[in-house]
Amino acid sequence: MHAIPNTVHEGMKVYDSAMNAIGTVETFRITDEAPGAPEIDAAGVSPVLDEERDTLAGLLADVFQPDDGLPREMQEKALREGFVRLDADGLFASDRYIFPEHIDRVEGDKLVLAVRKDDLLKV
């Protein structure tokens, strides 16, 4: 996929490429731009991230948690292309970031990935 599907929602179950349930959608941001018209801000965000921010630094601080350890270039990629933050199943499981290229499809209330859980960026 080239974008986060607009049918993604918080609490949606996430499955890896082998159809193993790996967690749920914690939060998401669909994209920062309208395809083919980068001057238009077409962001769709989860309710957690719904407030407008005046600066990139302010937006980054609100979207990404300090303990994520996500490098700034990955934060900027996530804001530009969209992302899903996976609340991974398991007591000691690390949460992960899902980018558009990791998504295969949406089937009803399931987000199905084209990769395995270990291929996702850990938080």
Report d(CA 117, CA 98) in Å as an integer. Answer: 9
- Which residue is it, tokens 């996976």? 86
Provide the pLDDT for residue 20. Answer: 96
Q: Which two tokens stand for residue 85?
A: 């933050």
Q: Are strands 110-113 and 121-122 parallel, antiparallel or unpaired?
A: unpaired
For 32-90, the pLDDT digits (tens) are: 555 555 554 544 454 444 444 455 555 555 556 555 667 778 888 887 888 999 999 98
Number of residues in the chain: 123
For residues 93-106, average pLDDT: 93
